[in-house]
Amino acid sequence: MMWWLGGGLFLGWSIGANDAANVFGTAVASRVIRYRTAALLASAGVIAGAMLQGSAGLETLGAITPEGLGAASASALAGALAVTLMTLLRLPVSATQAVVGGIIGVSFWTGGVDPAPLARIVLCWIATPAGAMLVALALYQIYGLALRRLPISMLTRDRILWHGLIVAGIYGAYALGANNVANVTGVFYGRGLVASTEWLNFIGAAAIALGILTYSGRVMQTVGGGLIRLDAFAALVAVSAEAVTVHVFAVIGVPVSTSQAVVGGVLGVAIMRGGDLHAKVLRNIGLGWIITPILAAVIGFAGYGLW
Amino acid sequence: MIFGSRQHAVEGLIASYVEHAQASVSCFVEGMEVWLGGAEPVADIVHGVAAAESRADDARRELCLLLYGKALFPESRGDILGLVEAVDKVPNRAEAIMRRIVSQHIGPPAPDLGEGFRALVASVEACTTAMFEGVNVLFKDHHAAVELSNRVDHLESEADRAEMELTERIFTSALEGFPKILYRDLVMDVGGLADRAEDASDRIRIIAIKRET
């Protein structure tokens, strides 16, 4: 069983190592919380999210995955290889887009992909940063209004933001688990590889948690260091917007990229503050959208064809 | 250390710093009155100003160590360190003025100029008091700090007026050339206290406004 799941589990580990930074990076980099505590909270959040609300995404990915364990496993492996290659090339990457790309690549040999759920998924990819940006615009107003109304000192304001970042981090981890577990084990949904959907959820969540616990520290410092330059309020808005957006898509049942969601949140803050929308950031999202699925599709197509 | 205890430690040190810095300015005001009265030596008062300033420095150093130890968010650390540095220029200057009076043996001015000095010192005291209050308010209700900053601006303008009037009076008086320059420099130094208070108050305003978003 582990052999078939290998590609997916590696992808899960990679999601945990990279994407936990999007929810707890700011808090860790600014020492709101210790890395070890953040990693444990994030792991618990991911497992809770996957177990309680991860099934919808599993069904969606399962619906577009070609029949047969070999094809499912090859799709996951193609996604994992694409993520690794993109990371090595230091290019922006989305695990979701990699898995879907892998599925498309393998599907060339197995009769094609059902276009309706695929179109829904691609539409949600576009909606992720846009949605997170809109949520950030709303949260900026709501949080700002609440803080303005409170007769508090500047340090009490910091304290509220301090706790807010922890709560948003836990919620973000929950949303990450609920949404991204599908990337890990979604291709195996309905293939009879494990006894139940709950087990698929748990195995996927455990892989993500392992990535968080073993390799997310440095990424958290790097991503968090970049995010914290926004200031604590902006970081709270961006992380909350990312969490809400990713959670909404988890409920809808479409796996999306937390990195693209957090970028959308940052853009929302930038709009509220009259800042420039960095062309480089937007270009990176575009590159992630285009290169990742294409690369994964090519790997899936070539790999499954050779196999 | 959890955030709550860091917050209380920082707030306590800031309150202590402001208390000592303000005591230093109060000693300075008292010293100027003694000097203007001309009956008692000013040297003892200088020690009082220096001692209060030194206690303020101790609190400031302790605060800096706590902040360099990564307490609070980076942006708040920077803001607080910058603010304390700006505020610290007020007691430092007050001490320097008193030392200057003593070391240069500057005698008290004639009564008509003395009144002008009193008016200037009163304006400066009001301005610095409002600034110190602004620092305290920033750590109680930062929204209210902006109003106090506006008051400091107004009081600094009054101190400027008092400074100009006194300078004019010095140069239209019967004093000889050298004492005129000596008193003018002293007036500029005393008036400079209000300028320093305004600089610190501008920082308070920026810190408060940044947190209105």
Count of other CB atoms within 10 angstroms of residue B152: 27
Which structure tokens are listed for B115?
């009144």
Contact A156 B138 (CB under 8 A): no
User: CA-CA distance, A133 to A216, in Å (whole number)?
Assistant: 25
What is the torsional sign of CA B153, B154, B157, B162? negative
Chain A / chain B CB contacts < 8 angstroms: 61
Q: Which of residues 79-118 of B touch A (CB under 8 A)?
A: 79
Q: What is the reported pLDDT for A2?
A: 64
Q: Which of B70, B73, B139 sits opposite A153 (nearest CB)?
A: B139
In this model, does residue A182 exceed pLDDT 60? yes
Contacting residues of B for A272, CB less than 8 Å apart? 213
Q: What is the reported pLDDT for A150?
A: 87
Pick the more confident residue, A184 or A195.
A184
Segment A150-168, tens digit of pLDDT: 888 889 999 999 999 999 9
- The listed range with the strongest mean pLDDT (A76-80, A274-278, B201-205) is B201-205
User: CA-CA distance, B145 to B142, in Å (whole number)?
Assistant: 5
Which structure tokens are listed for B48?
């009082």
Return the SS3 of B73: coil
Contact B138 A162 (CB under 8 A): no
Q: How confident is the prediction for chain A on average, in pLDDT? A: 88
What percentage of chain A carries pLDDT values higher than 70? 93
Q: How far is A218 from chain B (nearest CA, A)?
A: 19
User: CA-CA distance, B144 to B198, in Å (whole number)?
Assistant: 17
Q: Which of A30, A152, A162 sits opposite B74 (nearest CB)?
A: A30
Contact B138 A157 (CB under 8 A): no
Q: What is the reported pLDDT for A285?
A: 67
Residue B146's alpha-carbon distances to A106, A157, B13, in angstroms, are: 63, 16, 22
Which structure tokens are listed for A184?
């890990």
Count of other CB atoms within 10 angstroms of residue B205: 20
The answer to whether residue B12 neighbours chain A at the CB level (below 8 Å) is no
* Helix ranges (DSSP H) in A89-196: 95-110, 115-149, 154-185
Q: What is the reported pLDDT for B155?
A: 97
User: CA-CA distance, A278 to A243, in Å (whole number)?
Assistant: 22
What percentage of chain A carries pLDDT values higher than 90? 47
**Chain A residues with a Cβ under 8 Å from any Cβ in chain B:** 30-32, 140, 144, 147-148, 151-159, 161-163, 228, 231-233, 272-273
Pick the more confident residue, A2 or A205.
A205
Return the SS3 of A256: coil
Low-confidence ranges of chain B (pLDDT < 70): 1-3, 70-71
pTM: 0.84
Among candidates A90, A58, A89, which has minimal Cα distance to A76? A58
| Range of lowest pLDDT (A143-152, A197-206, A215-224, B182-191) | A215-224
| Residue of chain B with shortest Cα separation from A148 | B212
Contacting residues of B for A151, CB less than 8 Å apart? 141, 143-144
| Residue of chain A with shortest Cα separation from B7 | A155
The answer to whether residue B2 neighbours chain A at the CB level (below 8 Å) is no
User: CA-CA distance, A193 to B197, in Å (whole number)?
Assistant: 73
Q: Which of residues 138-157 of B touch A (CB under 8 A)?
A: 138-144
The amino acid that residue A281 corresponds to is V
The amino acid that residue B42 corresponds to is V
Contacting residues of A for B79, CB less than 8 Å apart? 154
* Helix ranges (DSSP H) in B139-174: 142-172
Q: Which of B70, B74, B211 sits opposite A157 (nearest CB)?
A: B211
Residue pair A169/A177 in contact (Cβ under 8 Å)? The answer is no
Over residues A284-302, mean pLDDT = 85
What percentage of chain B carries pLDDT values higher than 70? 98
Residue pair A64/A124 in contact (Cβ under 8 Å)? The answer is no
Residue pair B60/B8 in contact (Cβ under 8 Å)? The answer is no
Contact A154 B207 (CB under 8 A): yes
In this model, does residue A265 exceed pLDDT 60? yes
